Structure 1
Amino acid sequence: MQFLNNLVNEINALVWGPPILVLILGTGLFLMISLKFMPWRTIPRGFRLMWQGRKNEAGADGEISPFQALMTCLAATVGTGNIAGVATAIFLGGPGALFWMWCTALVGMATKYCEVVLAVHYREKDDRGEHVGGPMYAIKNGLGKKWLWLGGAFAIFGGLAGFGIGNMVQVNSMAQAMETTFGVPMWITGVVSMAIVGLVILGGIKRIGKVAASLVPFMCVAYIIAALVVLVVNFEAIPGAFALIFQSAFNPVAATGGFAGAAVIAAIRFGVARGIFSNEAGLGTAGIAQ
């Protein structure tokens, strides 16, 4: 088990090394500039379109409505990613990691927009006449057959990632909270979660869309209200928190046993990594539902 843990840590350090961090932030910034900051400028329009797309119009192309697709995507980002993900980023990278999470989110809006557009544009229909899409189909139909192996690789690694960032972190967080707060054994939470999720998934994308459209808006509102309550209760600490975040993000203080700048490197690494975990911009998963 220790060997497996060390292997995962080594791979994780390689994957989230400087080249990948530069690619993630650099690609997002390039797309944002190329789009002339359209994702920022059209936020009000986006909310209007979301409200108009609550129901799938008669004869519309697709199995679920735009609103259901959006809620399906948000179901994986609001909650554990924004709670456990942020807490882990601060624990591993210090308060400065929050700044880099903000940067990832701001430029990630363009990345997510582009990956969804590509997924919808290059989607196709399967043998049952239902739409299928995502990065693997965008690679297959957009880049040509010589890149087909890359689409297959994404599908394989995406499936494996689904077990880790897709459900293990979420269920583990719930199980620990239930055990700590109410004394419910962790295995009971796991079994109940498995049964409920299984009933939803076995119903196909239509049932997933309906459940997400019913639960996610409530979840989002509850999350925002809870966050505002925390800010109001601790309003005196807000200025100091912002000062600490910006100071930790740019001040190259030597980490324990490390070197000057190690704290900043850790803040960038874990901030960007957890930012991706929180908003999924660049992962390609949003395009699959859309």
Structure 2
Amino acid sequence: MLALVENTLSTLVDILWGPSLLISLIGTGIWFTLITKFWPVRYFGKAMRQCLNMDKDTSLSKAPGIVTPYQAASIAIAGAIGTGNIGGVASAIALGGPGVLFWMWVTAIVGMATKLVEITLAVYYRDKKVNGDTWGGPTFYMEKGIGKKTKLWIPLAWTFGLGIMIQYFISLENFTVSEALTEAFGINQIYTSLFYGFMCAIVVIGGFKKVAGFAAKMLPLMSILYVAAGLFIIAINVHKLPDVFALIIAKAFTPCAAIGGFAGASLLLAIRTGISRSLFSNEAGWGASPMAHASAKTNHPVEQGLWGIFEVFVDTMVICTITALVILVTGEWSSGEAGATLTMRSFRSGMGPMGFYFVAFVAFLFSWTTSTSWSSYFQTLLEHAFRSKPKVAAKIDRLMRMCYVLPGILSTIFIVNIGIKTEIVWLVSDIATSLPTYVNLFAILFLTKKFLAILKDYEGKRVLWGKEIFYKYDKEI
């Protein structure tokens, strides 16, 4: 029965993640990179500097928004840096071979432009609640941008919301971190799932601002710890890097034969897996993180959009790459393991027993911030869907926060008791990821002209008026 389920899901993933989505995802990134004359590349240094210093801008005190740019970005980055960076990268390599890392890089490089666009549009089309709080996201620019010309935005918005909400019910974070803790300490996975759920609940119950503050504090700590440990393992195996990079490039363009516990992979599987895992990790094109950025205090949508360039680079080009290189230089990639277990064993191979427990600890931190950050996305979608009935929306919001961790705990119990393989869980995630990505890519392509006008407005401000802010949120560009 489970074999039938896996085959059915795999077939569906093959359809949804076929050439149409792969071309759309990569093609959209290339399109925006080209029509902006390589804007993310030309402004890469500026984006890094501005993101690191943005909260020092005193003019932001009077800017619309409810959290600082850094806090908004922390939610988005924390929402992205999670299971995709530890379990997702490992599962990708276990499924598609070393070549998937190359396609993750390609997706990330063009994805910087995609994320710049979707964050910029989310801030431009954001709205205010009755209490004055700002909020927004893809469903808002679908309604306010596409909705001006066609009713097509309605099925697009519902499809987007469906795909995002599936993530709520499968809760990969709960399953992945409980699996890692069980692997490390030998505790029953049901108990570790309950513990993880409790830790998430104490943050989520406080609402959006508490989630933002929590993410802002945790993000630097967990990222620095993980990067430092990964670089240590890579450094002591630096002599293997030439062969590893040669293997990555070679297997990015040729099938990967079976070796050890690795079953082998076709070229198409490597490409598809690399692109899908890159999307799951950095979320460029998925449309999730713009919902966090829409609440940021900012003087211009593009200023917040700069965080998109920063996010994709840090998430994929730094953290995912470190995970992949550790797995490859230690030789564990062909062991037959997958998910968080593969990453943990790779770190143990490089650091000794301490590495095994270290990854379990970091996996907990990564997943903890991801789960709590994603609560704000689910909240945005539910409140937007019931915005015409604010009292109902408020009740749903309270209920969602009170019961937020239950689906993750229940799904983990279900998976463990039935004995479902990790690969099946990721297949469901791939299906859920593809749905909002299709409609979000369509939406931002539809609004290309609007984005270019906003970008021109930003550049004009810098060139003609120096530091003077002339962009107004009630102004139609």
Q: Is 1:50 matched with 2:56?
A: no
Aligned to 2:410: none
Q: 1:193 to 1:7 in 2, by over 3 A?
A: same
Pick aligned residue for 1:272 from 270, 275, 279:
275
Q: Is 1:156 matched with 2:162?
A: yes
Aligned to 2:11: 10
After TM superposition, the structure 1 stretch with the greater mean CA deviation from structure 2, 17-26 or 175-184, is 175-184
For structure 2, the 5+ residue unaligned runs are: 260-264, 294-477
Aligned to 1:26: 27
Q: Is 1:114 matched with 2:117?
A: yes
Q: 2:104, 2:277 within 8 Å by CA — same for their partners in 1?
A: yes
CA shift, 1:34, in A, is 1.4
Q: 2:174, 2:197 within 8 Å by CA — same for their partners in 1?
A: no
After TM superposition, the structure 1 stretch with the greater mean CA deviation from structure 2, 265-274 or 218-227, is 218-227
In 2, Cα distance between equivalents of 1:148 and 1:139: 8
Pick aligned residue for 2:95 from 89, 92, 98:
92
Aligned to 2:189: 186
Larger radius of gyration: 2
Counterpart AA for 1:59: K
Q: 2:97, 2:251 within 8 Å by CA — same for their partners in 1?
A: yes
Q: 2:178, 2:196 within 8 Å by CA — same for their partners in 1?
A: no
In 2, Cα distance between equivalents of 1:128 and 1:211: 23
Q: 1:126 to 1:5 in 2, by over 3 A?
A: farther
Aligned to 2:254: 251
In 2, Cα distance between equivalents of 1:90 and 1:10: 20
Q: Is 1:60 matched with 2:60?
A: no
Q: 1:207 to 1:149 in 2, by over 3 A?
A: same
Deviation digits for residues 256-290 of structure 1, max 9, x if unmatched? 9xxxxx72111101011111111111100110000
Deviation digits for residues 116-142 of structure 1, max 9, x if unmatched? 111111111233332221111110000
For structure 1, the 5+ residue unaligned runs are: 257-261
Task: Give SS of 1:53's match.
Answer: helix
Q: 2:136, 2:290 within 8 Å by CA — same for their partners in 1?
A: yes
Q: Is 1:35 matched with 2:36?
A: yes
CA shift, 1:254, in A, is 7.3
After TM superposition, the structure 1 stretch with the greater mean CA deviation from structure 2, 48-57 or 235-244, is 48-57
Q: 2:71, 2:213 within 8 Å by CA — same for their partners in 1?
A: yes
In 1, Cα distance between equivalents of 2:271 and 2:54: 37
In 1, Cα distance between equivalents of 2:112 and 2:126: 21
RMSD: 2.2
Aligned residue pairs, count:
283
Task: Give SS of 1:54's match.
Answer: helix
CA shift, 1:68, in A, is 0.6
Aligned to 1:141: 144
After TM superposition, the structure 1 stretch with the greater mean CA deviation from structure 2, 92-101 or 123-132, is 123-132
Q: Is 1:129 matched with 2:132?
A: yes
CA shift, 1:85, in A, is 1.4
Aligned to 1:83: 86
Q: 1:94, 1:267 within 8 Å by CA — same for their partners in 2?
A: yes
- What percentage of residue pairs aligned between the two structures are identical? 38
Q: Is 1:226 matched with 2:229?
A: yes
CA shift, 1:209, in A, is 0.7
In 1, Cα distance between equivalents of 2:99 and 2:22: 16
Counterpart AA for 1:173: T
Q: Is 1:217 matched with 2:231?
A: no
After TM superposition, the structure 1 stretch with the greater mean CA deviation from structure 2, 13-22 or 173-182, is 173-182
In 2, Cα distance between equivalents of 1:254 and 1:240: 17
In 1, Cα distance between equivalents of 2:183 and 2:74: 30
In 2, Cα distance between equivalents of 1:206 and 1:96: 40
CA shift, 1:170, in A, is 2.2
In 2, Cα distance between equivalents of 1:204 and 1:79: 20
After TM superposition, the structure 1 stretch with the greater mean CA deviation from structure 2, 180-189 or 19-28, is 180-189
CA shift, 1:179, in A, is 1.5
CA shift, 1:241, in A, is 0.4
In 2, Cα distance between equivalents of 1:132 and 1:283: 18
TM-score after normalising by structure 2: 0.56
TM-score after normalising by structure 1: 0.90
Deviation digits for residues 165-218 of structure 1, max 9, x if unmatched? xxx322222212211222222122211221221222222221111000000111
Q: 2:74, 2:212 within 8 Å by CA — same for their partners in 1?
A: yes
In 2, Cα distance between equivalents of 1:127 and 1:11: 42
